[in-house]
Structure 1
Amino acid sequence: MSFCFSCSTVAVRIQPQQSWSGPLGSGYSRFNQSCGAACTTPVNASTGEFVAPTVTRLGPVVEKVVQVAETVQGLLTVERLLTEAEFAEVEAVVEQCVAQAHADVNETYQKQKGGFKFENGKFPSDAECGRTLRIDEQGEKVTLAQELGLLKHAAAFACIRDRLPRTIRGNFSTEPRYKGEPEVNGVVLTNNKANSLKPDLVVHATRNATNIQCVLEFKFPCYERHRLEPMRSPGVVAQLESYMRLSKDCRVSLVTPSGIKPYEGK
């Protein structure tokens, strides 16, 4: 589900969203947000699932106005997957933005703490990574490693949105939530967390998030052992393995500040 809006640079509370333009996770971040015409997806009242990701959930009159405006602007496009050249451009931008988000958030976090410095200078030590910062709404401890990860995800998504061409923005979703749909031998979008998957960035057919081309999962390892071997971070392999089931042609990659590593399976 994608909510698009325009606003100036503001401090925002980062909440989980299925949105190209919106931030994710929890914590605070400061960045620019801009997008085109608003677009949402109808929800089945009994299941909470999105019925058709390409249809807007608007009143008939408003929906017609939006459709006419999009037609005039040439925004209604034929559903298609990205070419190899376009996908290579996506990977290059994603790789740059993840590395930039990692460096920027580490630097900004220290400045916002009144000149506070990590023990290792540019990144926290293992002891700092495990330090508890606060207790969240569910009563769970939030460590520095988790807090930095949330902020870096938000910064990376904003960077990617700003750098990729508008012509292919209909081919992306950030943190869409999927569940298997045996009756149609595929997946559907859902609001329900139980037995669902929520990848970081999904490349898909134009305005159809269920026709999945590839999945890019972002990780910002804090502990030294995980920075050196990201695939050994807790739960990473199982997570990537689960994403391979989203589509028979689905390509899954792990993205860290060190680069992109395609996942080949166990």
Structure 2
Amino acid sequence: MTGFPGTFALVLLAGGFPMEALGQTDSATNGCLRNPACYKPPPGEEAIIPWLSHTERAARTASTVSAMLEDADVTIIESILTRCAREADEKVNKEDDELQGQDPTREQCKKVVRREGNREVTRAMELGTRKHELALDCIRAAVAEDFAKHVSVTPTYQKDPNTGLWRWVDPKQVKEWLQIGLKSMLWGALVPDIVIHAPGNPNQAQRAYDLKFPCPHDNDPSWGRYASGQPHHPKTQGVMYQEALRLKKKDVSFSTPKGVK
């Protein structure tokens, strides 16, 4: 699914992608390259979220106690995230005409390669987008057999304005909104890269992860703070994941080519 400059399939939203320091992050977590939060509803137009009432009713009919994955299984999933991130990192660096398999330098990471609207796109952002896409495809394939019921890739969460609760949004609904031009319906949505949850129930989250490809590699990954004008300003993306998914700080992590942090 496409439609946003510099984006990739399935990563279509989130008032969930703050501005971060230049050269430290990839574009997949940077501004409008992966951020339908940029599509603010017209003045006076409130987002109507009709599916949430149905979701709430379905949730109440489900068992209140769901089996979460054991630590050993979580460790296996985290090893998959690390492997996929590492393979994507190596593949993109190898196929890049300039890098030819080498890690990008700090100067290369900071280099502005083009403009999209009023934004400068750096090599760090460009490389990160490509690595992100490959890693997500790898993860989808790897978890499909053994962990399909417990792992969601790029799930969408939206806040019900009536109850104040954050709920998972069916991908079919997201696709429909985008196809008919209702991007404003996704204003303020959150889209973690990976969520481990109760079987078949993304609303009962156990862990959440975002892929990070620091550029250069010796940079530490960090949560960006939402810029002024974004729906969750001045909080960070990590804090919003904790609040929306009702997770502890230790349960929200980065997944990098060097491991989960």
TM range (shorter): 0.5 to 0.7
What's the CA shift for 1:211? 1.6
Counterpart residue identity of residue 80, structure 2: V
CA contact (8 A) 1:201 1:216 kept: yes
Aligned equivalents of 2:153, 2:144: Cα separation in 1 = 16
Aligned equivalents of 1:207, 1:53: Cα separation in 2 = 13
Q: Give 1 or 2: higher strand fraction.
A: 1
Aligned equivalents of 1:50, 1:147: Cα separation in 2 = 35
2:75 is the alignment partner of 1:84: no
Listed as ranges, the gaps of 5+ residues in structure 1 are 4-12, 19-23, 28-45, 55-77, 111-115, 262-266
Match of 1:203 in 2: 196
Cα deviations across residues 188-210 of structure 1 (Å, max 9, x unaligned)? 13553433322111112222222
2:34 is the alignment partner of 1:47: no
Match of 2:246 in 1: 248
1:124 paired residue among 87, 98, 104: 104
Listed as ranges, the gaps of 5+ residues in structure 2 are 2-6, 13-26, 34-46, 57-64, 175-184, 227-234
Question: CA separation of 1:134/1:48 partners in 2, compared to 1, >3 Å: closer, same or farther?
Answer: farther
Aligned equivalents of 1:184, 1:208: Cα separation in 2 = 19
Counterpart residue identity of residue 129, structure 1: C
What's the CA shift for 1:53? 6.5
Question: CA separation of 1:53/1:223 partners in 2, compared to 1, >3 Å: closer, same or farther?
Answer: farther
Counterpart residue identity of residue 209, structure 1: P
Aligned equivalents of 2:67, 2:239: Cα separation in 1 = 26
2:158 is the alignment partner of 1:179: yes
Counterpart residue identity of residue 105, structure 1: V
The count of corresponding residues between Structure 1 and Structure 2 is 195
Question: CA separation of 1:196/1:162 partners in 2, compared to 1, >3 Å: closer, same or farther?
Answer: closer
Aligned equivalents of 2:99, 2:92: Cα separation in 1 = 13
Question: CA separation of 1:216/1:148 partners in 2, compared to 1, >3 Å: closer, same or farther?
Answer: same
Decide which structure has the larger Cα Rg and report it. 1
Counterpart residue identity of residue 145, structure 1: A
SS of structure 1 residue aligned to 2:93: helix
Aligned equivalents of 2:50, 2:220: Cα separation in 1 = 37
